Amino acid sequence: MYEAVHARPDGDATAARHAATAARYGYEGVVVRTREAIDPAGAGGGAGTGGRSSDADALREEYGIDVVDAVEIDADGATSASGAVGNYRSDRTVVCVVGGDDGLNRFAVEEPRVDVLVRPMDGSGDFNHVLAKAARDNGVHVEFDLGPLFRATGGKRVRALADLRKLREIVTYYDAPHVVSANPRSHLELRAPREVVAAAEAVGFDAEWVREGLRAWGEIAARNRERRSEAFIEPGVRRGRYEEDG
């Protein structure tokens, strides 16, 4: 299972500290959402590219955990978000778009180049059946941010949980893909996978569904790494050496 973290300068801990803590807690990997935190694997080369090692490769070797270079695009509107997705799609393994209003939510789920729509219920945004169908059809994962479950109190926590339950009903009914995260901005906010699952289960979420959402981050990274490899042509078609009969 994977967790998606905010590292410095966006968060309060370095990517290395997140990786070390996540490894100790039993995660298989961390997705570093902060663009400035680590070099993109594609630029540095990294595994399978024949170039120099990237920051992510060095952290993997040091801590024995997968480290995924990602970007979280927080734009003012769909036009600027589209430009940013175009800039970062070939550069980052995982591309996320922050939702929170109807225009950004719609843009993200209708754009196949986007991997994850994060925090869709923040701000004035809503999520309905039309968006769920688009997310399913375009393979865009919808994030379930469990951060408020661990860190919010009172009415804010109650409202966040109500939004999460509403989002779950729509996403599961239309079979849209999902990811789960506690959205940690510090290694002190990281929770072990069993803690995330247990806390979510306590407020009515299915345990295996939560585990699927934690695993999905790694599945997205693996899929995108394959697509960026030199052998990949299109889904189901790869370059390779073939033996002739006879």
DSSP 173-241: HTT--EEEE---SSGGG---HHHHHHHHHHTT--HHHHHHHHHHHHHHHHHHHHHHSTTEEETTEE---
Amino acid 10: pLDDT: 92
Give me the long-range contacts of 154-162 (CB less than 8 A, separation at least 24).
160/121, 161/203
Q: Which residues pair with 118 in a beta bridge?
A: 98
Determine contact, residues 60/41, Cβ cutoff 8 Å.
no
* Among candidate residues 99, 90, 8, the one with its CA nearest the CA of residue 49: 90
Distance CA 53, CA 43 (A): 9
The token pair that represents 95 in the structure block: 């591309």
**Coil, helix or strand at residue 32:** strand
Distance CA 165, CA 137 (A): 22
The span from the CA of 127 to the CA of 30, in Å, is 27
Strand pairing partners for 67?
30
* Contact yes or no for 172/209 (Cβ under 8 A): yes
14 and 8 in contact (C-beta within 8 Å)? yes
pTM for the whole thing? Answer: 0.88
Task: Report, as ranges of residue numbers, the positions in the chain whose pLDDT lies below 70.
Answer: 41-53, 230-246
Strands 237-238 and 232-234: antiparallel
pLDDT at 246: 42
Domains of the chain by range and CATH?
2-228 (3.20.20.140)
The tens digit of pLDDT for each residue in 203-231 reads 999 999 999 999 999 999 999 999 987 65
